[in-house]
Structure 1
Amino acid sequence: MIRYLRQVYQAWIDYPLRAGHRLQGRYEIVRFLGEGSYGLAYLSTDRQTGERVVVKQSKPSKRGLGRKLLRREQEALLALTHPSIPKCRGLFEDGKRLFLVTDWIDGATVEDLIFEQQRGFSELESLAFIARLLPVVRFVHERGWVHLDLRIPNVMVRDGTYVLIDFGLARRIGDTEGLEPFSSEEEERRRLPDVKSDWYAVGHFLLFLLYSGYEAQEGQPPGEWHEELSLSMATGRLLRRLLRLDEAYESDAALMRDVEAAIAALT
């Protein structure tokens, strides 16, 4: 019963703000975009400029931790000025709640492309996508940060360009302050503040792209990716290193060389 009551309380305190609500007398909420583990995001209109922006709120139920993560996200965005990363427009408090304002990216996520628009990527198209995404990832690493949430909902396609969004879990490389013990090896591979965590995530990202064009044969039993997908040797080696089934990569440059080699093997 206590657990149930706690869940009810959390759902109540984290209930999203309604459309039309205005924050600081400036940011008018258009619609609720969704929520993560620590934040709530809204598409909003900046009434001073007329522009659309994203306003992200730390979850009230997360208290100090949610506010700390939102401040760290602001720090990351201010350090990562890049055409393919949303700009931070400010941090403010309203009614004892903390909010972060960033650019609104008007486009489709890769998740939308695959599952809503039914877009299928060939092996060559999948590799080409990764080749265009990796320079952004490399930029993040060169500035001393790791994203730690490189998933298909967090990469957007806008006018033919790719934008990496949602730095809510980003950390400085090697920063383990406040990091809770990992519950599994899989979680450690995804969340340890090391560049290899982002590369591991890129491996799973690539698998999503490759499976978007996969059609199982009737009666075919489910298997591992290397059993189901018909891939070139170069792409198979690339995936095995990204997923740490073979020796892990040691640098973004080495990873990029292997991606380029895999593309060359198909052209």
Structure 2
Amino acid sequence: MTTSRQRCNRPDCGRGTIDEQGFCDRCDRLPLPQGGTGPEPPARTGASAGVAQVRPDPWYGLGLVDPVQAPEALQVPDVPSEPVAEQHRFCPNPVCGQPVGRGHDGEPGRISGFCPQCGTGFDFAQPGGFTIADRYEVRRTLGSGAYGAAYLAHDRNLATDVVLKALHKSVAKTALHERDILVELRHDSIVRILGYEEEGPHLVLEYVPGEPLAARPGDRLETLLAHGVRVLQALDYLHARGLLHCDVKPLNIIRFREENPAGALDRVRLIDFGAVRSQTKDTGPVVAFTRAYAPPESDPEHLRPTPGFDLYGLGMTLREVCRSYGTDRSAPGVDSLHLLLERATHPEPWRRFGSARQFAEQLSGVVRQVVAAPPTCRQVTRLSALFGPAPEPLHGG
């Protein structure tokens, strides 16, 4: 059993002590296992190692950005709706209610037609008007993919809108895996799970009415970078629990309006954990990923993924989101942002960031440069991560 005198042995921390519950009092994580049998990562040397020690609060860039009032209404993407899944096609006549529009002999079922039992017409070209598990009234499609679709539905029991993530039966194990992961997560920047229905199966998730992370007219650069820091907080939370998201991209980061007593604020939340995996339990190469935001397929991260897989995805995401702000490298902080993103997405894995906290330390530094210029002209004094204050007899006054 660890004691409070044991020093945290994580390279990106190293400053805290282990408390009675076995967690570091600075980084809130378990210490690294001693005497592991796995191969050691290549040593980082020279300038490529970045900061030698991450500050206890690498998220300080958030404190430099003024709270941004969210617009009155965010534009929810209008996704073309696919036909209602066959397993949800029933006669609209409440007296009948027999299954209709089902396929047979390898042929898909009819999307529109007439019930063979009572003759009532049906049209399932657009989702809506049907209920799942006698509780969720489906309103429209939010998105769809190879594994299934996501519906916006109204939960009768909770009297609120939710997201029903319907997965094909062929990937039912994926739904159970995602359910088991999400039910353990509690973080302000991670989507919350509300329930699970075996019918489908369906995951019931909170509905975040917003839009994928992108630059909007009038956005300041520091606002977008602050969203990057918030995503890094969520990734640090995941990685500390041995989990990898494996599909970080703008489409999976929802920017939304959060109501609170201080006013409606601009916030982000990480969604879609269909590709999530455990660093200890899941073996084999990464299967589900988005090529444009993942390391090259020849990269070692695909065979044995680490937190670097997610950090690479966020680097590509910030590159895309901040693209219009990087044309003038003489602008405050822009050149530093270029260097930061080059490191985050470097072709050599060992030259990239080793942890979300290390990435956030540098990203917060870029925010500091940006806000130091007009019109904010905000200056802040931070203690050095390498040197403490000099003793009284030695400092130069």
Q: For this structure pair, what is the TM-score category when the shorter chain's length is used for normalisation? A: 0.7 to 0.9
Q: 1:35-58 CA distances to partner (integer Å, 9 max, x unpaired)?
A: 123121000011122111111111
2:273 is matched with: 167
Q: How many residues align?
A: 234
Superposed displacement of residue 83, structure 1:
2.3
Q: In 2, are the aligned partners of 1:42 and 1:55 still within 8 Å (CA)?
A: yes
Q: 1:81-106 CA distances to partner (integer Å, 9 max, x unpaired)?
A: 22222221222222xx3111111112
Is it true that 1:152 corresponds to 2:250 in the alignment? yes
* Larger deviation, residues 236-245 vs 39-48: 236-245
The 5-angstrom pairing of residues 242-261 of structure 1 reads: 242-245=344-347, 247-261=351-365
The whole-number CA distance in structure 2 between the counterparts of 1:12 and 1:59 is 16
Is it true that 1:91 corresponds to 2:189 in the alignment? no
Superposed displacement of residue 129, structure 1:
2.4
Equivalent residue letter for 1:128: A
CA separation of 1:154 and 1:50: change in aligned 2, threshold 3 A:
same
Superposed displacement of residue 123, structure 1:
4.1
Superposed displacement of residue 26, structure 1:
0.7
The whole-number CA distance in structure 1 between the counterparts of 2:108 and 2:233 is 39
Superposed displacement of residue 264, structure 1:
2.2
1:198 is matched with: 310
Q: In 2, are the aligned partners of 1:172 and 1:193 still within 8 Å (CA)?
A: no
The 5-angstrom pairing of residues 10-159 of structure 1 reads: 18-60=127-169, 63=170, 66-94=171-199, 97-110=200-213, 113-114=214-215, 118-119=216-217, 121-159=219-257
Q: In 2, are the aligned partners of 1:80 and 1:143 still within 8 Å (CA)?
A: no
**Whose radius of gyration is greater, 1 or 2?**
2
CA separation of 1:125 and 1:75: change in aligned 2, threshold 3 A:
same
The whole-number CA distance in structure 1 between the counterparts of 2:335 and 2:283 is 37
Percent of residue pairs identical: 26
Q: In 2, are the aligned partners of 1:152 and 1:205 still within 8 Å (CA)?
A: yes
Equivalent residue letter for 2:296: E
The whole-number CA distance in structure 1 between the counterparts of 2:256 and 2:288 is 37
Q: 1:212-248 CA distances to partner (integer Å, 9 max, x unpaired)?
A: 446xxxxxxxxxxxxx663644222211221024611
Higher strand share: 1
The whole-number CA distance in structure 2 between the counterparts of 1:10 and 1:237 is 54
The whole-number CA distance in structure 2 between the counterparts of 1:260 and 1:134 is 11
After TM superposition, the score normalised by the length of structure 2 is 0.53
* Larger deviation, residues 122-131 vs 168-177: 122-131
Equivalent residue letter for 2:343: R
1:217 is matched with: none
Q: In 2, are the aligned partners of 1:171 and 1:193 still within 8 Å (CA)?
A: no
Q: In 1, are the aligned partners of 2:232 and 2:357 still within 8 Å (CA)?
A: no
The 5-angstrom pairing of residues 178-197 of structure 1 reads: 179-180=286-287, 186-187=296-297, 193-197=305-309
Equivalent residue letter for 1:156: I
Higher helix share: 1
Q: In 2, are the aligned partners of 1:176 and 1:193 still within 8 Å (CA)?
A: no
Q: In 1, are the aligned partners of 2:236 and 2:355 still within 8 Å (CA)?
A: no
CA separation of 1:157 and 1:25: change in aligned 2, threshold 3 A:
same
Q: In 1, are the aligned partners of 2:190 and 2:271 still within 8 Å (CA)?
A: yes
CA separation of 1:249 and 1:37: change in aligned 2, threshold 3 A:
same
Is it true that 1:236 corresponds to 2:343 in the alignment? no
CA RMSD of aligned residues (A): 3.1
2:48 is matched with: none
The whole-number CA distance in structure 2 between the counterparts of 1:205 and 1:11 is 38
The whole-number CA distance in structure 2 between the counterparts of 1:39 and 1:26 is 20
- Structure 1 SS opposite 2:182: helix
CA separation of 1:181 and 1:100: change in aligned 2, threshold 3 A:
closer
Is it true that 1:264 corresponds to 2:368 in the alignment? yes
The whole-number CA distance in structure 1 between the counterparts of 2:367 and 2:307 is 23
